[in-house]
Structures are given as structure tokens and as C-alpha cells.
Amino acid sequence: MKKRALLSVSDKSNLIPFAEGLDKLGYELISTGGTLKALKEAGLPALPVSAVTNFDEILDGRVKTLHPFIHAGLLARRDKESHVKQLEEREIAPIDVVVVNLYPFKETIAKPDVTEEDAIENIDIGGPTMLRSASKNFRDVTVVVDPADYDATLENLSENGGTVAFRKTLAAKVFRHTANYDAMIASYFVDITGEEDPETFTQTFEKVQSLRYGENPHQKAAFYKEGNVKGASIANAKQLMLHWKLCLISASSQQQLQ
């Protein structure tokens, strides 16, 4: 049976070279909406998700991948005979690679004129669900949430379908990503409802850069900022660098004046 890759991305950076790589490795491509259009325009063979589910998108695209033919294909354990048998009985094909990045909720709520309706429509449902299903089944499914991982993923897949260790690393990244995404949504709802003391308080931080060393030279450290921090903050500051030669010239000028 031909292996399958499901691609559905809002960030289409390097999508086509990656999809071409999957196609060359023999994967059948499945896709949705704008991603499907981009693949078709690039001349790549791709099936719409509706061809897999036998169910058209409804509710303005709110429901398209939330279907047993998708999630059974993601969650079925290949090493469990009963799972394989159930797929065969229902004529469900496994999905081996999932490439998803989410609706731009963070970017949407950062707009000064954003409306509540716009914010809510940019809460992704199907994307996180597929990511979590694929990540739970990382022993059998490769899941990619970050375009920066495309090259490494193709390289890994070219080695007899990839390694469990690599898939586990990608799955861990997915769970961090979806946790961050949900934390931003939760924070947004705290803001718009005016709650002052919610029963749980979740913050999320994003890495800005690695640091040269930690509190001591032998320790590692990194600088993180709150995911949706706004306004005046050192996290939003831009480092201005003055060329060292200008400093020397200034110092030399001062000496001459003296």
C-alpha cells in the first residue's frame, strides 16, 4: 500500500520543495483548501481530503478533517493486529506523515483593530486535533509543525521511512507548540471576559535567543519572552550595536582635544 502524507498549512514557506520531496519518496499527498490549491498549481498530484472522507467541507470550512477516516488513519497502531484489521474492514488507509501549522491566532490578536469575531475564527480546531493524534502515535506517524524541520524530515524519511527517535522529537515539539497555542487562546479569553482570578493561570514563553552561557560559564541559558507580551518591555527591545571602530575614533578624538 502506498504511504500517505496529509498537508494542511497556513504558513506555506518552503511547502512546494517539501511536498516535491515527499512525492519523490513515493508518498500520496492529501490536502485541504489553500494548501491543496498551492500543490495543484505547482503540478503536484494531490487528493482533496473530501476524496478520502467521502464528505465535503461544511460550515465554511470549520469541519473538514474531523472525520474517522482521518483520525483512524492517524491513530491506528501498525503493530496491533486488531487495529490493522479494523482499518481493513472499514477500508481506511493509514496516514504516515502529517504536516500542519495552525491558523495565525497570535498574529490576528496582535492587530490593533482586531474584532472578537476575527479572533474566534482564527482559533484552529482541526489542525491541533490532527497534530495531537499524529503525535500520540509517533511510533508510526511523522508529524511536522515547523517548516524549519522540512529538510531534516525528508532526510530522515529517506532512510527506510524514518526513525522512531526522530519522530518522537518532532512529536515533543508539536505538544509544546499546541500547548503554547492553547495558552494564548486561554489568555485572550481571560482578557475579553475580564476575569481577574481564573481557577488556573497559564503563561507561555517563546525563545528569543540562546545566550553565551548561564549564571556561570559552564551553564547553558536562553532568553524567553511572554508569548503575547505587548507595549514597553525589554523583551520587545531592539539591540542597537555601535561599531567598535567608531568607539575608538571617539576616544581618540577626546584625547586630542585634551
**If you average pLDDT over every residue of the chain, what do you get?**
85
**pLDDT tens digit string along 159-188?**
888 899 999 999 999 999 999 889 888 888
**pLDDT tens digit string along 1-34?**
789 999 999 899 999 999 999 999 999 999 988 8
Q: What does the buried/exposed string (b/e) look like for 221-231 if buried means 16 or more CB atoms within 10 Å of the residue's CB?
A: eeeeeeebeee
Q: What is the pTM of this model?
A: 0.78
Beta bridge partners of 206: 225
Q: Where are the domains of the chain?
A: 4-193, 205-258
**Regarding beta strands 97-101 and 46-48, do their DSSP bridges make them parallel or antiparallel, or are they unpaired?**
unpaired
- Residue 206's alpha-carbon distances to 47, 82, 177, in angstroms, are 35, 41, 10
Site of grid cell 525563545: 207
| More confident call, 237 vs 111 | 111
Architecture of the CATH domain 4-193? 3-Layer(aba) Sandwich (3.40)
